[in-house]
Structure 1
């Protein structure tokens, strides 16, 4: 090693320069500069100092033992008895330790000094005192030549020991390889012997079978020859000679019969593996066993098995094959013979499955609706513990008595302001938090007589009915209907006497009129709570909520929170961007995002849930209303909702219900046609008004349909050709043309193709946004009160291309007039996806910077809608006018 500087030494040993300088100073090395050179002797001096500091003796010296381990692998080829060569891997491990020369010398020098005292020491005599031996005289130190010779001898002895150890390891490895090869050779010999024994047994079996076959053929030939001789020889002596060859030895005849039976069942005996193992283990005794011992326990049935197969509405070919306990290819073959091409995963209907089951000789049993839903009922019965839940409250009352305004005050939203005529056209469910308990769920039903069916449905799902009666108006006909429905459903009522802040309010009049219909207040000894409220000022609202909670506490409302959810569909509609949307009220269990639900005739997986404010939700407990996305179609309002564990089961039940609905609808249509035929034959041709109804939500369509059908009389009848949800399409116009029907659109509009078809085919298309206006028009047309009516005509239609902000008008819509003309003084409607979202009037109409009174087709303009700033690109602004038109029936 050469001399280096302190800095270089610090980099080599990995020690900071300052630390190394301190260690050199402690060791007595006069070095103070990092660039100063350190010699070899100074390095050794530093090393000795560090050893002393760390507790190691200086004379111990550094360890100079080095052990090398080596491993080598060789291959030995071993030849088996059949001449096959096998390769065996032999692994030899070697280890060699090298010792520095100084340690070997020290070992040699220390050996005699340790043995000298032991050689001269002697046991002490008992009679004499023990005297310590004199110190051993110092031995002469060996010369350098002797030390070198001793070191060489020690090295030679170590090398010879290492060589002997390596040879011993080599011999051990070779011995192990030889033993492994010998064991492998013995195993191969055993396998060969087993194979030869098996071949001998097979050969013996084949020889025995061939001999048996030859003997059987020989016996048959003898019998045939004897029969021929007996037929050729006259007299009765022939029968006695014919059986002679076979009856020479009865024992031989019996053995031949057994052999014949063995020959017949030869293939079955060879197929049974257990019988083979028995023969191998028993040797000759096993081979001499009778033929019956090798037969298996399965026998082909003597008669075909007839099964009773339950068939749902839809099932796959594979499921039907599994029900009949046959293979799917056999069933597919039968279907192909019947002219039905189907794969194993293809679904077939109930009728086809019934035919193929009967074709294959089984009994088909179509499943009934109770059997289909039995498993679903069992699933819902396994619910958790019943816990308190929020009450569901239905708001009922007469038109314009303030139901929606009352609810609007509670929810702190503006619903009535966005509805035509201030009338609630949809059923809505809202969960309102309250300081006591977990809140209240309000179910808002419209107040017109057209919604009788919807109000009855609301009374079925509700716990408490809030009957709103105006203090200045008293009890009205629809108030009486609400009372009747609540009493029929045995639902407790809380009367909210609204508009108490008006000067002409008379609450005692309301109590007096309601007492005539068995609604008696607590002050008069009854059981109905009366609360004086004002939906405008908010007076008495807290007392109303207190009364609702008091009534709910008396009823002890509880529902299980754990388990699959059950509920009811409050409302449903078809959204253009999101598909079928259903408002669901959970009645028991917990509805989670991702659950498979069954709602009436529709099913699907919950892709998303939203509360009444449009915020996404992941779970919904009892008495919580949510909007659900992901259904296969639009369910009917009032349908039961159920969470199903298996999506296939949900699809099966939904398809079954759809099939039953189609059958009942077809039967109803046929009956109606026959009834019309007999009535026309007896009373003459009756006038029928055909109506095709399209609405924005399912509840409105149902209510309109029921109300219009009730207008039928003996002379004139109303027939609803079709009722649906969504915009008016060209197919609806074609259906109306074919059935000579009038199209009524409630809060929906026709698309461009439908408008062209209406103009070409001259179909009567009418738009309505208030239900009782549509009912009144049809009623007037039916009863002959054909006074001039006010009809709406669309003047122009503008497409919103972009929206700009204006400090004077707010949101200004940049539009392109695509139909007719836009006039300043006409009322307008804002359409989004052909659905009315706002009605009002124009605040400003400009062409560039100039105010204009009219803008025609193909011209761009700027439109500002009065009191409405939520116009978006893609909306349509419809300009219409009301004109008086003389009508004829």
Structure 2
């Protein structure tokens, strides 16, 4: 394998680099930085060290002793009182060492294999000896027969030659006679048929008497039948009936094909091992898993290599890649309009500026006058067509601004002349630089009193945004959304920047672009706002957008009017997708609807597997780190919003409020109205329902009223964040603080027969109370902490003594009070905490 660095190894094992370097240092390895290389030997050394740290090498017995007590009752025969008999049993259990058990099993397997091998060798030797003995006996019998025949020939006189010829002729005649008759089966090795002469004349079983395939005549002229058939049968009967399985003598190395994600059960099946073995290996590596849990490719690779097998990666994106390669985007490129994203701090006049350009009133329709959604518009101006993307300026919509910077050609940075550079202004500059998008600065509200354009220019110059008149490359334009001053100059600056960029597209190609926003409409279903970046989108096209696909049933412009098609740089709303795609997803138009559905289903399955694996992944070290911590208080939330972008911003803002003590758990989230299913889930999980610009339907309302489920509606994002923050603050445990109520100085010490040592004191600060805690200080050092036993003014017991008043104090369980000591009275109070 290739040599890996410490950083790559930390990503593979999902451990921070600092922690991994600390573990490597403890293991005696020389690595001290993330870019140093780690060899296979060093990784094995680290693995052995981690195993020893987890107690794998500890050979001590782990014992547990159980005591059981059983009580029985014995009845007396004389009818007296029954006697209770108690029997105590004590039993000690010792945990078996897995390594010793495995070693014992290996030794037993070796002994079993050795015994089987020995038995096989002995059987083979015995068979060889028996075969040699039989061969020797046959050779001896043959030799004796030959000697006997020679002796008979030698004993025969030469005058009997004619007799020998007559015998030979008779023998030949008998042989021919036997051949002319029907053959009969005889047992193997037995001469003749064993039948009488009358039986020989009768055919057996109606067989053809001319068939001689199963008969032959031996050397003595005697006929043998069925030798071939019976010989095969006898040979089969002599075969030992043994099992056909052969135990492998060496470990089999498998080539395991790994997809992007795989379950533990499937991984074990590919390696032909039990799932428990895979779980055991993962546990030793520091990862806890179940048999049905899905793990990623990197984790599976480590497990396969740890178990001694090889890895082969499978390209699961073959269908998707083939579909993408089949799309032809070639054609004549023509000039296209620029896509401009307006970004800046909240309430700096972004939407008002677009209102004047579009001659509409968008800001008045937004809740609180603050943009809650990303909007897309295209405007025909005297200087040419421009497409605008309006992004929210609230801090929660960082992801929206980042997507806007990626999908645009030019960024108009809006900064108010009376307010200056603010946090989201700086963030917009960073997003534009990250997307390598040129900037055009629009200084708004120049008609207001207190506007200071030069101050804005200085502040932006500090962020390395230098105006052209100062020798920089950024155009600065002062505008007013009320009077229209500077609007034409701003559009000219945008189109001039567009000319420099030389923006082009191929209108004849299939459409592709980016999803700007998506929502769920009750009457129309899924409605997605798309920005076409190349090609032309038409009604009836098959669109694949992230995890969703569908055929375009309607095309609408930003004003809701139907249009036949949308070319490059045109934002458009489409109907027909089978779901709401995530904002920022790329969309393409494909020719084959079947392949598009196949790719969408594959992406959805992959997304579910990754999400399931992420939810159930738990490292052993994380498990140990959570031990001993107090229980975390959780606020369960069911969140429904009108569009995907707002839902994403809300989830991120709520989860950012999590601390070590309290956290927000979004049980369910989605786009669209609140249904009865959402209400049922909220009741089952003890959650509160938040509706952002959506409402509950009639059945959900009835269920919520009947079951008293907490439901809250919101239209401004910072209102929901403030309410959740307040709820989490109420769940925090209060802080305990001490308040010093008073201090008394010991002036003299008296001995009382009833109370013991009594300190005569003067209250020098605050008030001394009888029922509060006290501390005794000597030279401003605490030497005792406790409570008062008595507080008296002269002979009267009192509950409190104010400043400047003498009193007698008896300290409970303490008799070492001296002159000059101070007695401090304090109280512990609870102070509410906030996030």
Q: What TM-score does the superposition give when structure 1 sets the normalisation length?
A: 0.48
CA distance, structure 2, for counterparts of residue 767 and residue 635 of structure 1 = 24
Q: Which residue of 2 aligns with 1:373?
A: 320
Q: 1:235 aligns with which of 212, 220, 223?
A: 220
Note the C-alpha offset of 1:640: 1.0
Identify the match of residue 349 of structure 2 among 382, 386, 402. Answer: 402
Tell me how far apart the structure 2 counterparts of residues 224 and 640 of structure 1 sit (CA, whole Å): 88
Aligned to 1:562: 508
8 Å CA contact 2:257–2:314 kept in 1: the answer is: no
Q: Are 2:717 and 1:717 equivalent residues in the alignment?
A: no
Write the distance in 2 (CA, Å) between the matches of 1:621 and 1:388: 11
Higher helix proportion: 1
In structure 1, the residue matched to 2:435 is 489
For each residue in 1:223-277, what CA deviation from the matched residue of structure 2 results, as whole angstroms up to 9, or x when unmatched?
A: 973245426x67267699x99xxxxxxxxxxxxxxxxxxxxxxxxxxxxxxxxxx
Report SS of the residue matched to 1:505: coil
Structure 2 residue 723 is the aligned partner of structure 1 residue 777: yes
- The one of 616, 619, 642 aligned to 1:696: 642
Residues 38-82 of structure 1: per-residue CA shift (max 9 Å, x gap) = xxxxxxxxxxxxxxxxxxxxxxxxxxxxxxxxxxxxxxxxxxxxx
Greater Rg by CA: 1
User: How many angstroms apart in 2 are the aligned matches of 1:609 and 1:440?
Assistant: 20
Q: 8 Å contact 2:662–2:731 — kept in the other structure?
A: no
Report what 2:409 is aligned to. 463
- CA–CA distance in 1 between the matches of 2:724 and 2:516? 28
Distance apart, 1:441 and its partner CA: 0.4
Where do 5+ consecutive residues of structure 2 fail to align?
A: 1-205, 229-255, 262-293, 295-311, 733-831
Out of 211, 218, 227, the position equivalent to 1:225 is: 211
Distance 1:478 1:309 in 2: 48
Written as runs of structure 1 = structure 2, the 5 A alignment for 1:595-634 is: 595-634=541-580
Conserved 8 A contact 1:698-1:725:
yes
Contact 2:634–2:665 (Cα < 8 Å) also in 1: yes
Contact between 1:573 and 1:725, CA under 8 Å: does it hold in 2? yes
Determine helix, strand or coil for the equivalent of 2:696. Answer: coil
**1:430-441 pair list within 5 angstroms:** 430-437=377-384, 439-441=385-387
Matches of 1:679 and 1:309 in 2, distance apart?
35
| CA–CA distance in structure 1, aligned partners of residues 563 and 621 of structure 2 | 51
The answer for the alignment partner of 1:360 in structure 2 is none
2:418 alignment partner in structure 1 = 472
Q: Secondary structure at the match of 2:331?
A: coil
Is the CA contact 2:417–2:451 (under 8 Å) kept in the aligned structure 1? Answer: yes
Aligned residues of 2:344 and 2:424 also touching (Cα < 8 A): yes
Contact kept? 2:726, 2:834, Cα under 8 Å: no
- Relative distance call for 1:716 and 1:675 in structure 2 (3 A) is farther
Number of residues of Structure 1 aligned to a counterpart in Structure 2: 455
Go from structure 1 to structure 2 and tell me whether the alpha carbon gap of 1:702 and 1:672 turns closer, same or farther (over 3 Å shift): farther
Shift of 1:649: 0.5
Distance 2:414 2:645 in 1: 22
CA deviations 1:147-194 (Å, max 9, x no partner) are: xxxxxxxxxxxxxxxxxxxxxxxxxxxxxxxxxxxxxxxxxxxxxxxx
Q: What's the offset of the Cα at 1:778?
A: 1.4
Residue from 365, 368, 372 that aligns with 1:421: 368
Residue of 467, 476, 492 corresponding to 1:546: 492
CA distance in 1, matches of 2:313, 2:600: 16
For 1:384 and 1:398, the matched residues in 2 are separated by: 41
Q: How does 1:208-607 map to 2 (within 5 A)?
A: 225-230=211-216, 235=220, 368-437=315-384, 439-607=385-553
Q: Secondary structure at the match of 1:706?
A: helix
- Structure 1 CA distance, aligned partners of 2:480 and 2:621? 53
Query: Residue 373 of structure 1: SS of its match in structure 2?
Result: helix
* Equivalent position SS for 1:701: helix
Measured after TM superposition, the shift of residue 494 of structure 1 is: 0.5
Looking at structure 2, the residues matched to 530 and 402 of structure 1 have their Cα atoms a distance apart, in angstroms, of: 16
Q: Is the CA contact 1:747–1:768 (under 8 Å) kept in the aligned structure 2?
A: yes
Alignment partners' CA distance in 1, 2:332 and 2:260: 34
Q: Distance in 2 between matches of 1:550 and 1:441?
A: 15
What is the CA distance between 1:676 and its match in structure 2? 8.5
Question: Could you say if the C-alpha distance between residues 310 and 741 of structure 1 is closer, same or farther in structure 2, counting changes exceeding 3 Å?
Answer: closer
Please state whether the residue corresponding to 2:664 is helix, strand or coil.
Answer: strand
1:625 deviates by: 0.6
Q: Does the 8 A contact of 1:380 with 1:566 survive in 2? A: no
Structure 1 residues without counterparts, runs of 5 or longer: 1-219, 244-307, 314-350, 352-364, 787-885
Q: Return the alpha-carbon distance in structure 2 between the equivalents of residues 605 and 687 of structure 1.
A: 46
Residue matched to 2:677 = 731
In 1, are the aligned partners of 2:341 and 2:391 still within 8 Å (CA)? yes
Q: How does 1:103-122 map to 2 (within 5 A)?
A: none
Residue 312 of structure 1 contacts residue 652 of structure 1 at CA under 8 Å; is this kept in 2? no
Equivalent in 666, 670, 679 of residue 612 of structure 2: 666
Distance 1:406 1:388 in 2: 26
Give the distance between the partners of 2:223 and 2:472, measured in 1 at CA: 119
When residues 770 and 887 of structure 1 are mapped into structure 2, their CA distance, relative to the original with a 3 A threshold, is farther
Question: Structure 1's 580 and 656: CA in aligned 2 closer, same or farther, altered over 3 A?
Answer: same
2-side partners of 1:223 and 1:587: how far apart? Answer: 95
2:769 alignment counterpart:
none
Kept in 1, the 8 Å contact 2:259–2:315? The answer is no
Is 1:686 the equivalent of 2:632? yes
Cα offset for 1:368?
Answer: 4.3
Change (3 A) 1:223 1:630: farther
Tell me how far 1:762 sits from its aligned partner. Answer: 2.9
Pair 1:761–1:681, CA change in 2 (3 A): farther
* 1:221 Cα deviation from its structure 2 partner: 7.8
